[in-house]
Chain A
């Protein structure tokens, strides 16, 4: 005999799952998911409100934007008049006013070149890149320094502000990358002397702070050359910065070189390619592509550290802002000055780091979860 169970009434419907969509669902999932998280959310939100509201009031709501002198500032919020009144100096430094159009041209060219190289869809990357590395520095040198073709000569001690910061950063980047590649190749060389020279060079620069390098460039380099040679102060700093960062660049590139399979090199050898053909056509294109994020990170570090030149008496963006703070007409605006300088540097560095992340995602076409 078998028994069968038969329901003679409907089973009650189960409750639907928790609300998982919409604003309430998002809030529950991300902010109030359990008692601990709820407490964390409330504390964090409270802290943010406590810190951000006065900041917003100071920086925007109660700030003064328009005017010429410090009397135009109410004193309740930030006095951005301090920045706008000396904006020209912050951008051009002491560059003679009549010649500032030359700086503008270089700014425009730099922006166009960077945009061209950064936007993947634009063609002829190789030629534009070659121009950026070789042609542009020459054009920039003749335009900025002057003294030829009827242009007024502008000594480097009159350079300053954002223009000087960008000059140092660009020269540092353009100089340290090729030097770093050579050093990285040298470090992997089979020739013992070449290898040891590169290792010592790299480890030396990586072991000392940039500031001592700048000190060395400003007090020791003049001793190393004959007295007759007049070594420009800016040029000395640039040499120091280039050597210093090329060592970091070399280590980044070495990481890429090590990641390339040995078979690639051996295949090149089997085809009878010379060392430079193998490196230039097979190894380096792959290795450099792998380490683009690392290279950009080094660029960011280099850009941030251009501010150190103020210690040896060059007037970069930060130094110009700082010099403005000692103006007797404008005492007491240290916060505005440094916040502005921080903001300018932040915009440059943050865009570079975003771009590096974008490239990383674009190149990372392999396995992804």
Chain B
């Protein structure tokens, strides 16, 4: 016997659509209640402590100095300026760390796959050692155990008499551009543009005729050669400021503060261990049949590596590599433990303690990292979409 459709539906609370709606409504209510409670409590607490909310404090005088600034900054600058100085310092150590970690990581990762037993084991020991020690311990070790044990400026360790290493940091020659140096920079820009056009042309030519241009050599020649030519033609408009011992400290040159060195060393060495593993797994992820197929087409070893293995390995490596870069940027915030003036140390540390604007400052600091993460993730998604296997 057939039942009528209205009865087959059963009671209302068994209808999935209704249940989903009710559940979401409850969730929404709970969220609104939570947010309202937080806002209410915060307002009451702030009022009790006499803190005014808002971003007006950014225009006030900061009144503290920062040991390393990439732009002009003094105690008279505003908190907004403090924010920018901190941000630039964060970006500086992040870029330095990313470059060094990539170089060390690729070297170690490839060494781990070497047929040389000793080299492969050494690389494995490197990875297992540095990957399993907290980054903070490594930063503190480099700063307090190694760099603080260096001699005073008067007994500096000298390298070629132009680099000096002491407890106050690494002093090295500082290039001073003279008038006319801009031409070299323009030449560099021009060279980069020309190489970009050349790459496009080479690609079309290869698609048409099957012949490849030696792009590595041509590109290197253009990017190094053109600016060098302009540099020589304009009469070498560059001067080096060589550090000299004067009294108790060095005069001239540029000093890399020990905080930056410790943070850079630790970040590079730590992240390199992870990058090495990514590189190794990426190369190993290329099926062995690919190499065998290339060999049966009698491609030579280096072409097999460059045109068959690496492009396929990169598809695995690049997304993980980006997430390691993001980790490095976020980890650079550990700078605050040794007093390197990064965003967290100067803004979420000193500025927060002085102004008490906890909510605004912590929110701004988090927003910076969040924006960096989201931008990089978005770029990563574009890359993934482009390198996706085009299956038919």
Query: Counting CB contacts under 8 A, is A215 at the interface?
Result: yes
**Chain A interface, number of residues (Cβ within 8 angstroms):** 56
**Chain B interface, number of residues (Cβ within 8 angstroms):** 55
Q: Are A220 and B358 in contact (CB under 8 A)?
A: yes
A335 to chain B: closest residue by CB: B145
Inter-chain contacts of B140 with A (CB < 8 A): 318, 322, 338
Query: Counting CB contacts under 8 A, is A349 at the interface?
Result: yes
**Given A224-B42, A227-B44, are A304 and B135 also a contact pair (CB < 8 Å)?**
yes
Q: Are A223 and B46 in contact (CB under 8 A)?
A: yes
**Given A33-B115, A220-B358, are A307 and B46 also a contact pair (CB < 8 Å)?**
no
Inter-chain contacts of A304 with B (CB < 8 A): 132-135
A225 vs chain B, min Cβ distance (A): 6
A317 vs chain B, min Cβ distance (A): 9
Q: Chain A binding site: helix, strand, loop or mixed by DSSP?
A: helix
- Docked Cα-Cα span, A334 to B145, in Å, equals 5
B191 vs chain A, min Cβ distance (A): 35
- Docked Cα-Cα span, A197 to B29, in Å, equals 13
Inter-chain contacts of A193 with B (CB < 8 A): 24, 27-28
- Docked Cα-Cα span, A225 to B331, in Å, equals 29
Q: Chain B binding site: helix, strand, loop or mixed by DSSP?
A: helix
Inter-chain contacts of B115 with A (CB < 8 A): 30, 33, 37
- Docked Cα-Cα span, A209 to B136, in Å, equals 13
Interface string of B181-225 (1 = CB under 8 A from A): 000000000000000000000000000000000000000000000
Binding stretch for chain B, among A95-103, A143-151, A339-347? A339-347
Inter-chain contacts of B144 with A (CB < 8 A): 325, 334, 338
Report B347-392 residues with CB < 8 Å from chain A CB: 348, 352, 358-359, 362, 365-366, 369-370, 373-374
**Given A226-B41, A338-B137, are A215 and B334 also a contact pair (CB < 8 Å)?**
no
Q: B44, B131, B137, B365 — which one has the most chain A CB atoms within 10 A of its CB?
A: B137
Query: Counting CB contacts under 8 A, is B176 at the interface?
Result: no
- Docked Cα-Cα span, A44 to B373, in Å, equals 39
Query: Counting CB contacts under 8 A, is A206 at the interface?
Result: yes
Report A180-235 residues with CB < 8 Å from chain B CB: 190-194, 197, 203-204, 206-212, 215-216, 219-220, 222-227
Q: Among A190, A206, A211, which residue has its beta carbon within 8 angstroms of that of B336?
A: A211
- Docked Cα-Cα span, A216 to B337, in Å, equals 17
A100 vs chain B, min Cβ distance (A): 25
8 of the cross-chain contacts (CB-CB < 8 Å) are A31-B117, A193-B24, A211-B333, A219-B362, A307-B137, A345-B134, A349-B132, A353-B128
Pairs of residues from A and B, 5 with the lowest C-beta to C-beta distance, nearest first: A30-B117, A349-B132, A207-B373, A209-B330, A304-B134
**CB within 8 Å of B: which residues of A?**
30-31, 33, 37, 40-41, 44-45, 48, 190-194, 197, 203-204, 206-212, 215-216, 219-220, 222-227, 300, 304-305, 307-308, 310-311, 318, 322, 325, 334-335, 338-339, 341-342, 345-346, 349-350, 353, 369
- Seed contacts A225-B41, A311-B337; 5 additional CB < 8 Å A-B pairs: A197-B31, A304-B134, A308-B136, A342-B138, A346-B133
